[in-house]
Amino acid sequence: MREDWLEQRLAREEIPLPDDGFTLRVMGSLPPRREGRPERRADWILLAGTATGSAAAAAFFPVAPVLRVLVEAAQIPWIGGGLMLGVMALALLAEPLRRAL
């Protein structure tokens, strides 16, 4: 007996299911296509949020003294290391956050 007799027999016996209006039902229930890719929309939301936040921070907070303090603090090894780790953590979190949006 041939090795593939079962496949051959199944292929011979099974015939395709008639459509019976199935395709029409599916097409009638499709939601409208959303404008733009969701991922791209999320990118724009993040970009706009970051720009707005940065502009607000620059306008309302004394940026220069804060930067001076940060530069001085960064020269202390454990603070500098902590800042670097913080930046790395933020970079790692950016992608999951983008996906979540």
**Shortest distance (Å) from residue 49 CB to other proteins:** 24
Q: Is 43 near other proteins (CB under 8 A)?
A: no
Whether 75 and 82 have beta carbons less than 8 Å apart is answered as no
Q: Which is nearer to other proteins, 18 or 77 (CB)?
A: 18
- Could you tell me the CA-to-CA distances from 70 to 37, 53, 76, 85 in Å, in that order? 39, 19, 10, 15
Element at 1 (helix H, strand E): none
Binding site for other proteins (CB under 8 A): 1, 5-7, 9-10, 12-19, 22-23, 25-27, 29-31, 33, 37
